[in-house]
Amino acid sequence: MPDNASGLPADLHSEPTIESKRIYEGHIINVRVDTVRMPSGREATREIVEHSHAVCIVPVDDDGNVLLVRQYRKPAEEALLEVPAGGVEEGEVSEEAVLRELQEEIGYTAETLQHLSSFWVAPGWATEYMHAYLATGLRPSKLEGDEDENIEVVRIPFSEALAMFKTGEINDGKTIASMLLAQPLLPHIGQAG
């Protein structure tokens, strides 16, 4: 695969795949091991967790509260306070996933969705790409949640939730990123303490 006489790839910021082997297939993730050629010409191994695209939502009610979910996360071995989030199912666009997740996780739908940004969750080892949204104009609308989730809905003034980043009470990366992206769009809410 060399692109020039030196035998090195022409693009010094790529790692062409020489071989790929899937070593695990699960319900939520797959794991593969890729052998790649580095720009130096050497071979290296990359362990990659395959995950669908996902959405996370900052749902803000008319009183300036953010509706978060508290759920136990086994890898962290603790209950985390997070914005609602979930995977984008095959054939679904991210806005549809947002409305579904809001209804499943917090029992609301939104009149207005605003795309905040999209970002890699853990690009060193995972393919998950997150689409963050601000949801306003909330109104009750419940869908049955996933059987394997135990979620508590927590309503917190937005500015108080921002302050919880500094105390470590909120320490989930997608929650911190998406709420900071939403903050400038909610000037009536004020600043964190």
Residues 94-111 pLDDT 10s: 899 999 999 999 999 999
Please say if 152 is a catalytic residue: no
> What are the residues whose beta carbons fall under 8 Å from the beta carbon of 112, sequence distance 6 or more?
135, 136, 137
Q: Stretch 154-175: mean pLDDT, rounded?
A: 97
Q: Where in the chain is the domain with CATH 3.90.79.10?
A: 54-186
Q: What is the reported pLDDT for 70?
A: 97
- Tokens at residue 85, please? 């989030």
Q: Using the 8-state DSSP alphabet, how is residue 125 labeled?
A: T
Q: What is the reported pLDDT for 193?
A: 42
Confidence of residue 10 (pLDDT cuts 50, 70, 90): low
Give per-residue pLDDT as tens, 32-57. 999 999 999 999 999 999 999 999 99
Would you say 83 and 161 are in contact if contact means Cβ atoms under 8 Å apart? no
Tokens 């991210």 belong to 94
Q: What is the reported pLDDT for 146?
A: 67
pTM (2 decimals)?
0.88
Give per-residue pLDDT as tens, 141-152. 987 766 777 899
Kindly list the strands in the beta sheet with 30-37, ordered across the sheet, starting from the edge strand earlier in the chain: 17-25, 30-37, 43-50
Counting residues of the chain whose pLDDT is more than 90, the rounded percentage is 81
Q: 169 vs 81, 162, 188, CA distance in Å?
A: 8, 10, 24
Q: Which one of the listed residues 147, 152, 160, 169 is annotated catalytic?
A: 147
Q: Which CATH superfamily is domain 54-186 in?
A: Nucleoside Triphosphate Pyrophosphohydrolase (3.90.79.10)
Confidence of residue 91 (pLDDT cuts 50, 70, 90): confident
- Tokens at residue 138, please? 């909330």
Would you say 123 and 154 are in contact if contact means Cβ atoms under 8 Å apart? no
Calculated CA dihedral for residues 131, 98, 138, 169, nearest 10 degrees: -60
